[in-house]
Each structure stands twice: as structure tokens, then as C-alpha cells.
Chain A
């Protein structure tokens, strides 16, 4: 039962990552150029837009492109090698060579990652490969941070890696990974990976994820130290695979 729940959560994470990426790259047929070029204030909610492709009326976009208007500063896509080095740099790690876990994963997935800078060149397998690579880089980050004293850590100074999400003493349950602790860790990753704070929507999303993660585990599992790392690993993978981590 627990395994099923955890699979659900993992699937949810993957879906979020894929889903957040697909609109940007057009589902292989839909040009999201207009969406990208709109100021952020245009996106209020889906109710405002009705349909994503209606953010800019199609005829306006066509008129712009027909007359050769090229909007400036459209993000470029990083290629396979850049994505790998960007992930290392974002997590404050220097390359430990292709013989490391992250290095071996990079070698195994780089063929699926793009070599083009055009944002429309991304494929589904490329996104999944990005997730896979982020998994190893994040795992390496967590291993590194968990070995350091709290004050020496960059990302997770408030995390008790040697304890579970909860501790039960004499029948009294103490939550170690409180919502505040968890969101502080997520915020730190947002500030480092994205150079900005999380939005309200993102905060809500990650809060829901935390709660789902807790709900998917038994009390015994919640007390296991590996789950502290597990919840942070899932969060790190999602955040390090976000579109803004491999566009510039």
C-alpha cells in the first residue's frame, strides 16, 4: 500500500516536471512563442485565458511574424553539456569527473538531451533525461550536505539528516520536517536555482507535495532517516529540472 502511494507521489512529481515543460515546448506541434513573449502579468489564471493558446490572439502573433518582427531576449536552450555543468554549478558542486555517479548518468543520458539552442528542439525523452540527471546531481548534493555540520551547509542548514520526518518518543510524535522547515529548504533551493523567491502558487504546490509525501508513508517509515533525504531529493529534482534551469 505504501509502495503504491509513494509511486503515486513520484508519478506526480514527474508529471509536474513534464507538464510544466511541455507547454513551453509546444507539445511538438503548438507554437508557444506568443505565450513566452507575454509579460508575466498577463498570466493570472486559466480562467482569464480560457485556453493557453488564446493568451495572445493568433492573428496578432501572425501579423508580428509576417512583418519580420523579432521579439528580443527569447530564452535560448542549453545543450546537453551545458545542462550538466549548469546543474553542477547551481548546486555548488565542481565536476568530480565522468566516473562519478552524476558523471556516469550524464554519459548515459546525454544522447537524449538536445544539442540545439532553439527552445522548440526539446523532446519528451530530453525532459525525462533532464529529470534523471537532476536526480543524480541532487543525490550528490544531499550526500555532500548531509556530511557537513549544519553551519557549514549551503542549502539545508536546518535539516536533521540523521532523523526521520517524525520522531516518536514515549508515544509522543514530534514532527521534524515541519511545513516551515520544509518550505525554508525549498525556498533556499529556489533562491539558489532560480535566483528568486517561490511564488504563492509554487509554495502551495510544494506544501501539497509535502503533505502527500507524509500521507503516503506509515508511521514507521516517517520515522526513518532516509525519508528526510527522500522528500528533499524529490523536491530538488523538480526544482532543478524546471525550465529556467536550462534556458538562458
Chain B
């Protein structure tokens, strides 16, 4: 009896494996291709009898792969599952997707839906929130101060409600900060808005406590796909390295020169961009003048703290920054290009820093890589990957930096499948 049961179990196990194996050899069929395209661009499985799958199959049969991909990106799951997760992973220090929807992800979802220029995500003065006129019977927390400025409750409740988030998001052409004036919380326009870089989720993730260096490190990590050890440069100018960095760790300057300096030359050069930014339960900007944690120059105290470690170090007095990643190695790595407004070598504030990053060749390639990883789910050899990044990064720019088009281009690219 037990042998019979075991045999049935083994047979059933194999029978469940068959379709998986079949899927690999049936890639030439229109149906398989349609399923693959639809599933990869929406991030979910589709019913065999779903009319959307039927239509995508019809388009594939006609050889209209781009149109088929476009149809896939018109499904709610494209934004609500695929793009949301694409964005959420970039929004936290842990790079986890196990977090509720936040303003960072909402901005990426809305901007993707609207076909916006992805570069604006790093310097634009806009945000996305749910449109109350489309809430219907859904109960969404929507107070501008308590639910958006001071907490994540608005986005959390949008996601939890089951509403089609990608559909109800609406663009607001400003970014607000909540300022405490005489005990009252009021909403004021952010004086230095920079898209995702000044979103609540991003500032909460990287500007809480610390020295605002992580904001630089993670901007490079998330939007240029480069880790700190890859851009560290021991020969770059050290003039901007702060006073809190010990030049004689353990009494030995060689340790600083060999291990500390390389990262700090570039990181501290850019750090000035965030001189006015802090997070105290909410993003704050010290130029409003009501922040207790800022000095007479309105620079947040953490920028110049631990001043006795090396008193001869750089003192931040404003939000200027310099690009110390401009030596040959890093120039080739990042592919800096002069933004429409601003310079490659220096600038002021977060938005100008965001423009520099967004206009680099590396930004385009990084977005291409992230889209490729989201859709294609496959490992390439280093040679294949390098070629893919150049090709799809270039396509991204030709497509006007549209993330939606990039998803379509990538899913229909021969290297993706």
C-alpha cells in the first residue's frame, strides 16, 4: 500500500515538473512567447483563458511584438507590481521590497505611467499622491500634513486598500516640507526639491542621524549602480574631507592614506549638496531658519560635527559641492556630461547634484540594468553584460529616458529571453 502511494506521489511530482521542462523547449510558439512577455512585464501569472493573454497572443502571431509589449504595460499589474517593486528596492538602505508603498515608489510609478523623462526623477520639483476624486468608496488617509508630510500613512493606506494605485496617482508640481512654526505644523514648499532625492522615504532612509555621506553613497549605488569601493579614488583631491575623519587612525597617517582617503575624497566632495538637509521624524531643510540643529550658516550641525578629530579638515559653510570623481578612471566609469543647467566640476544644492548624476552615461546604463534585471531575470557573462549596458543604455536615451519605453524595449530585446 505504502509503495503504491509512494509511486503515485513520485509520478505526480514528475507530472508537475513536465510543464516547466516543456516551457523551455516550446519557446518558439506564439502562445509561449505571449505568455512570457505578458508575465514578465506584469510580474504575475495570467489565466489561460484571460482575454488579455488572447490579445497579446494575437499580436505576437502578427509579428507585432512591440504592440504586444505595450498592451502588457497597460495592465494595472505593470505599475502596481513590477514598477512598484522596481522602485521600492531602491528606496531603502536595506534594499528590501518588503516594505509598504512609499512616496519614492509612487513617484517612480506615476512618472513611468506618464512617460516622463526619468532624469527628472533626480532633480524635478514634483511628487505623486492619490487623487481623492478617484477614491470612490475606498477609505484612504489623505491629510497633507499627518498622512503625507509626517508619516507614510497615505501611501500605506493606498496600497492596503486594494485600489488600483497606478491609476489613481496624480502628479503634484511641487514638493512640500512640514515646518513647525510656533508649535503648529504647516506645509511649505521645499526650497531645494530634487525628485526622489528629497522624497520622504529617501531622506528617512539616508539622512537620519549620521553625517549625510550616505546620501551620496546611495545616490551612486541606486542611480548609477556603482558601489563605493568601485569609485573610491586615493589620488583625488582631499581638500573637502571633513574634520570628523581622523587623518592619523591609530597614530598612523598611512592608514588614512591607504584606507580612508579613497572613499572620502569623492564622497565628501559631493556631500556639501546636502548641507541643509536633515531628518527629524520628517525631512527638514535648515534654510527655513527654524531648525535648532543648524549653525549660523544654516548648515546642519552633523555636517561639521566631531570637529576635534582633525581640526584642519574641511568646514562646510554652504551647500556647494565639487566633483572629485573627475579623474580619468572615474570619468570613464561615470561618463559625466554637462547638464543643461550646471557644471560637471562643481555646483550647489541637491537638485544640481541630481542633474549631474541624471545626465551621466552611467545613469542611463544603470536604469537599463535595473530594468533588465526586473524583466529578464537572467545572469549574463561580464562581456555580454557590458555590451548590453551600452546598447540598452543608449536605447534608453534615444527613447527620451522613458522608463515605460525602456521596459518595452528590454522585454522585446533578443538578449532578454
Residues of A participating in the B interface, judged by any CB pair closer than 8 Å: 15-16, 19-24, 35-40, 42-43, 45-46, 68, 70-76, 78-82, 85-86, 88-92, 94-100, 103, 110-111, 115, 117, 154, 191-196, 199, 201-202, 204-205, 208, 242-248
Contact = CB atoms under 8 A, between A and B. Distances in A.
B296 interface: no
Contacts of B35: 195
Interface in B147-196: 159-163
Contact of A245 (B9, B45, B159): B45
Given A85-B81, A94-B162, A191 B15 contact: no
6 contacts: A82-B43, A90-B45, A196-B48, A201-B12, A208-B8, A242-B16
3 tightest A-B CB contacts, nearest first:
A97-B162, A195-B48, A76-B377
Interface stretch (B19-27, B112-120, B239-247, B309-317): B19-27
Nearest to B164: A94
B315 to A, nearest CB: 43
B140 to A, nearest CB: 11
Nearest to A117: B377
Contact of A73 (B80, B160, B417): B417
B17 A199 contact: no
A136 to B, nearest CB: 14
A24 B17 contact: yes
A246 to B, nearest CB: 8
B30 interface: no
B14 A98 contact: no
Given A192-B49, A242-B16, A97 B160 contact: yes
Contact of B24 (A74, A242, A248): A74
A149 to B, nearest CB: 19
A242 B96 CA distance: 26
B256 interface: no
A73 B23 contact: yes
Given A46-B10, A89-B45, A199-B18, A115 B96 contact: yes
Contact of B20 (A97, A110, A243): A243
Contacts of B39: 248
User: Is the contact region of chain B dominated by helix, strand, or loop, or is it mixed?
Assistant: helix
A46 B234 CA distance: 61
Contacts of A81: 81, 85, 97
A192 B162 CA distance: 23
Interface in B246-288: none
A43 B9 contact: no
A201 B47 contact: no
Interface string B43-76: 1111111100100000000000000000000000
Q: How large is the interface on B (under 10, 10 to 19, 20 to 34, 35 or more residues)?
A: 35 or more
Contact of B8 (A68, A196, A205): A205
A131 to B, nearest CB: 14
A43 B18 contact: yes
A36 B13 contact: no
Contacts of A117: 377
Interface string B68-110: 0000000001001100010000000000111000000000000
A243 B18 contact: no
Most buried by A among B14, B39, B77, B163: B14
B385 to A, nearest CB: 12
Contacts of B8: 204-205, 208
Given A68-B381, A85-B44, A19 B9 contact: yes
B135 interface: no
B11 interface: yes
B18 A40 contact: yes
A242 B19 CA distance: 11
A141 B314 CA distance: 64
B336 to A, nearest CB: 33
Contacts of A111: 98
A163 B377 CA distance: 47
A46 B11 contact: yes
A146 to B, nearest CB: 19
A24 B18 CA distance: 11
A92 B23 CA distance: 23
Contact of B36 (A71, A100, A248): A248
B40 interface: yes
Nearest to B97: A115
Q: Which of A35, A89, A91 has the most CB of B within 10 A?
A: A89
B341 interface: no
A40 to B, nearest CB: 5
A70 B47 CA distance: 30
Contacts of A88: 44
